[in-house]
Structure 1
């Protein structure tokens, strides 16, 4: 199991420094969110060029606002800039964003993702001829020398996991804990990949992490930071499967040894990359970052 970091772009200077630090520490990967701030693929192409050994990923780019040919064009360009170290994580987002913010339909998201993946993976080869019920992608791209990035999907429910295992390279989760990984996520996506004749899929699992001397205060902070995830149906379903009442219960909190043990236990479930979403006060973040670097170093 590789060790990575899961974060977001606060500023260009901040993410440049964080990526350089992660590469210097031998951390395997750095995963960046995509919301309403700076465009993550543009940022990766601009600041992650000279960081050998560090895989950079999006976690995740929402699919509805970007036609699969346009996203393929952008991802191929970014991957060319970073020397083939990009992993393209995509996801369906949520109805309240797709419909309320973008004015687009969220009808039958599994069908949409299936067609999107078929069109996207074709477009990433730079020659696509696809026509589905809701998406059409026909044309040739011209980006010489661009490596094809691996494609991961933010797949949570059984149907989306089956589609992902059949058509993509793996999944990147959020608000998914060890019980759900063991009972749903990993067996479902692996079975679908095997049935499709594909290799074992990647399982990238980000979780909030805090090394602390005050677990109660850290848990309270996690509850405050994460509370809105409990109101989103897809994440609520994952919390219910895990037996958690609140999103803050997903956070990995404790002293360095207990946090390390909890992270290491995920490898036995089949997780291929753990990505720490580091939180806490300044000292806690430094202690957590030190632990993540130590866990990564042990794998070099």
Structure 2
């Protein structure tokens, strides 16, 4: 059965800004609250703050960027959040863009897949076995980690293209997509996950799709909302390549044209509750185990009250 969750559509400057969304996750039909990478406050700390304030809910990071933390620190943060919240945690990671890797590390990873494999190897050994002895090209960790009672921690990987999906099938618990149309999930992501899992002799990871969307209204411009939500992604080469593979052409010279293409290709969904419900069912039919509602465009254009109301209406319509 497909579950429905939501992405907090805000990168908080102060952790208390997340609390209204944590409250929504606690009393609504939402399965989990997600947060993406923030450039000021750390999502693991934001979620822990919410738990300390009494909003103890399942959480997921979709996705935090590997260059910002060693996998040992990632294991500590994921473990700490699970203990603090008392609920399962999906600790999702990705390498980020080559440009970001260069800005933080001095040079991009020679092999994106190789770095990701090492990262997950270290994290899993620490979280599940309590010790690791790994000397790699990208990460080295020879240490122990106390295995203590806690809710489950799933290691997730951000997945856009087939090779990363196959790797996620081999090593991850969860594959997390962003801006991927339903046919692409069905025809590319899910088969590659299954292929990687079969090669490794393990179960196929869960598929989580983070879907940008907005309810239609007379005073709303869907192209504006799609642009607010996703222009930065369409300018990154790995997103542009994924979108091209899914039949959506983008250009760094034409942000509005990119938003129009996202709408036409159903990478960004817009419509009334019935229309959005039908489009989201396409993701469920494509193999998504968890659908994450992303109303970032609404939040950026209309603010907190509008985004909270939007999520409440959508969850009430689909998460039953």
Match of 1:267 among 284, 287, 302: 284
| Cα separation, 2, equivalents of 1:286 and 1:41 | 21
Match of 2:272 among 255, 261, 282: 255
SS of the residue aligned with 1:113?
A: helix
Alignment of 1:34-183 (within 5 A): 34-48=37-51, 50-51=54-55, 54-125=57-128, 126-142=130-146, 144-183=148-187
Structure 1 position 215, deviation (Å): 8.6
Which residue is equivalent to 1:288?
A: 310
Q: Deviations over 1:21-75 (max 9, x none)?
A: 12201210111011312011111122135446x4200111111231111211121
Q: Once structures 1 and 2 are overlaid, which stretch shifts more, 262-271 or 9-18?
A: 9-18
| Cα separation, 1, equivalents of 2:92 and 2:234 | 22
Is the 1:207–1:277 contact (alpha carbons within 8 Å) kept by the matching residues of 2? yes
Is the 1:175–1:238 contact (alpha carbons within 8 Å) kept by the matching residues of 2? no
Which residue is equivalent to 1:3?
A: 4
Provide structure 2 residue ranges, at least 5 long, that are not aligned to the other structure: 250-257
Which residue is equivalent to 2:255?
A: none
| Cα separation, 1, equivalents of 2:235 and 2:134 | 36
Structure 1 position 223, deviation (Å): 2.0
Structure 1 position 194, deviation (Å): 2.8
Which residue is equivalent to 2:31?
A: 28
Which residue is equivalent to 1:276?
A: 293
TM-score by length of 1: 0.91
| Cα separation, 2, equivalents of 1:140 and 1:32 | 29
| Cα separation, 2, equivalents of 1:253 and 1:3 | 17
Is the 1:175–1:207 contact (alpha carbons within 8 Å) kept by the matching residues of 2? yes
Which residue is equivalent to 2:239?
A: 235
Structure 1 consecutive aligned stretches of length 4 or more whose deviation exceeds 4 Å: 49-52
Is the 2:212–2:229 contact (alpha carbons within 8 Å) kept by the matching residues of 1? no
| Cα separation, 2, equivalents of 1:83 and 1:183 | 36
1:205 and 2:209 equivalent? yes
Q: Measured at CA, do residues 179 and 265 of structure 1 come closer, stay the same or move farther in structure 2, by a change above 3 Å?
A: closer
CA-based RMSD: 2.1
Q: Measured at CA, do residues 295 and 152 of structure 1 come closer, stay the same or move farther in structure 2, by a change above 3 Å?
A: farther
TM-score by length of 2: 0.86
| Cα separation, 2, equivalents of 1:286 and 1:142 | 39
Provide structure 1 residue ranges, at least 5 long, that are not aligned to the other structure: none
Corresponding residue pairs, total? 297
Is the 1:3–1:292 contact (alpha carbons within 8 Å) kept by the matching residues of 2? no
Is the 1:5–1:276 contact (alpha carbons within 8 Å) kept by the matching residues of 2? yes
